């Protein structure tokens, strides 16, 4: 697919084609401004592509597909400040007409999974950035999506929280078997999380590399990151990204 923002004549994506298998966790990396957010918004059905198409489960995307959840980069703005944490997580379920009993279960389960069960009645603005991001993740998890899109979700949290959240995502992905597209600008993070990493070039944006991450499926912050293979893959992607920058 291709995307041009007509109003400003910005070509955000030149020619980006890839597939994600059901149940796969794929990371997308690329220099900032290369169109990662644009790509995600197209996949989410929030933005029509200029040319080409997006298909989810074989069905062309014309609007936001059902059973798809998005965790936005600007998590603070994506939570409603007039609602409590619980209400924020619950709202999409109410909209889906999930019966009250099941709804409570899902909300409680999702909040427990991200470790926020005890702040369910707080408002988002009473929480730290990392906690807000976890609320956004809990909302996505409670929604029971088949497809999960995440846009640089950990860009604004500290290193320790970030490591915890990465492991949380891995655990959720493993438990729920949800197809995940994870956008990041951090190569280490992409290698650590992904089964595959797709590297986007700088503008004009195309897919530069589609790399299978053949690390053992059980990942651990310490051991995985110190594997020689991890360093290999990381080095390879790093060189690619450098080239992507250089091309611009």
Partner 1 sequence: MRHAARSDPANRGARSDPAGDGTEPGRGARPGRGTGFRVAYGAAGLGGFLIVLEAAVRSGLVDARFLPPASEILRALAAELATAELWAALAETLWGWALGLAIAFCAAVAAGMLIGVVPGLRAATHSTIEFLRPIPSVALIPLATLLFGASLGSTLLLVVYASFWQVLIQVLYGVADVDAVAHDTARSYGLSAWSRIRHLVWPTALPYVMTGLRLAAAVAFILAITAELVIGSPGLGRSIQAAQSGGAVTTMYALVVLAGLVGVAVNAGVRAVERRVLAWHPSIRGEAPV
Residues of this chain that interact with partner 1 (CB under 8 A) are: 41, 44-46, 63-64, 66, 68-70, 72, 74, 76-78, 80-83, 91-92, 95-96, 119, 122-123, 125-127, 139, 143
Distance CA 238, CA 37 (A): 21
Q: Beta strands 147-151 and 68-71: pairing type?
A: parallel
Which is nearer to ligand ADP, 67 or 243 (by Cβ)?
Answer: 243
238 contact choice in Mg ion, partner 1, ligand ADP, none (CB below 5 to 8 Å, kind-dependent): none
Q: How far, in Å, are 28, 93, 121, 231 from residue 99 at the CA level?
A: 36, 9, 21, 48
Render the burial of 112-151: b for 16+ CB within 10 Å, e for the rest: ebbebbebbeebbeebeebbbbbbbbbbbbbbbbbbbbbb
- Whichever of 65 and 202 has its CB closer to partner 1, that residue is 65
Stretch 131-190 residues interacting with ligand ADP (CB under 6 A): none
Helix segments in 44-116, DSSP class H: 75-78, 85-95, 100-113
Paired residues of 149 in beta bridges: 70, 181
Query: Quick one: which segment of 35-43, 187-195, 206-214, 235-243 binds ligand ADP (CB under 6 A)?
Result: 35-43
- Looking at beta carbons only, is 75 or 173 nearer to partner 1? 75
By CB under 6 A, tell whether 49 contacts ligand ADP: no
Q: Which residue has the tokens 């996505």?
A: 140
Q: How far apart are the C-alpha atoms of 50 and 212, rounded to whole Å?
A: 29
Query: Of the candidates 16, 25, 29, 35, which one interacts with ligand ADP according to CB under 6 A?
Result: 35
Q: In the block, which residue shows the tokens 């796969």?
A: 24
Using the minimum distance from each CB to ligand ADP, give the nearer residue, 12 or 116: 12
Phi, psi for 175 (deg, rounded to 5): -70, -40
37 binds Mg ion, rule: CB under 5 A: yes
**Contact between 244 and ligand ADP (CB under 6 A)?**
no
Given a contact cutoff of 8 angstroms between Cβ atoms, the answer to whether 141 and 93 are in contact is: no
* Closer to ligand ADP by Cβ: residue 37 or 195: 37
Q: In terms of CB distance, is 10 or 239 closer to partner 1?
A: 10
The residue range among 36-44, 115-123, 193-201, 239-247 that interacts with Mg ion, by the rule CB under 5 A, is 36-44
With residue 176 as reference, give the H or E element that holds it. Answer: helix 159-176
Which range binds ligand ADP by CB under 6 A, 32-40, 51-59, 167-175, 188-196?
A: 32-40
Residue list 179-208, contact with Mg ion (CB under 5 A): none
Interface positions with ligand ADP (CB under 6 A): 5, 8, 10, 12, 30, 32-38
> Under the rule (CB under 5 A), what is the footprint of Mg ion?
37
């Amino acid at each position: 697919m291709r995307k041009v923002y007509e109003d400003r004549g910005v070509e955000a994506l030149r020619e980006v084609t890839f597939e994600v298998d059901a149940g796969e966790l794929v990371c997308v990396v690329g220099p900032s401004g290369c169109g990662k957010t644009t790509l995600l918004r197209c996949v989410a059905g929030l933005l029509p592509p200029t040319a080409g198409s997006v298909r989810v489960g074989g069905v062309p995307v014309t609007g936001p597909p059902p059973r798809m959840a998005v965790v936005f980069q600007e998590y603070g703005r994506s939570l409603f400040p007039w609602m409590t944490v619980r209400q924020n997580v619950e709202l999409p379920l109410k909209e889906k007409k999930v019966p009250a009993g099941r709804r409570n279960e899902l909300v409680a389960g999702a909040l427990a999974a991200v470790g926020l069960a005890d702040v369910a009645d707080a408002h988002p603005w009473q929480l730290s950035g990392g906690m807000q991001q976890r609320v956004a993740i809990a909302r996505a998890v409670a929604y029971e999506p088949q497809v999960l899109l995440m846009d640089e979700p950990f860009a604004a949290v500290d290193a320790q929280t970030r490591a915890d959240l990465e492991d949380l995502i891995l655990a959720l992905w493993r438990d729920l078997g949800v197809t995940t597209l994870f956008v990041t600008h951090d190569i280490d993070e992409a290698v650590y999380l992904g089964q595959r990493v797709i590297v986007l070039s700088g503008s004009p944006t195309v897919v530069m590399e589609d790399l299978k991450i053949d690390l053992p499926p059980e990942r651990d912050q310490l051991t995985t990151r110190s594997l020689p293979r991890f360093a290999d893959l990381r080095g390879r992607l790093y060189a690619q990204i450098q080239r992507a920058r250089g091309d611009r």
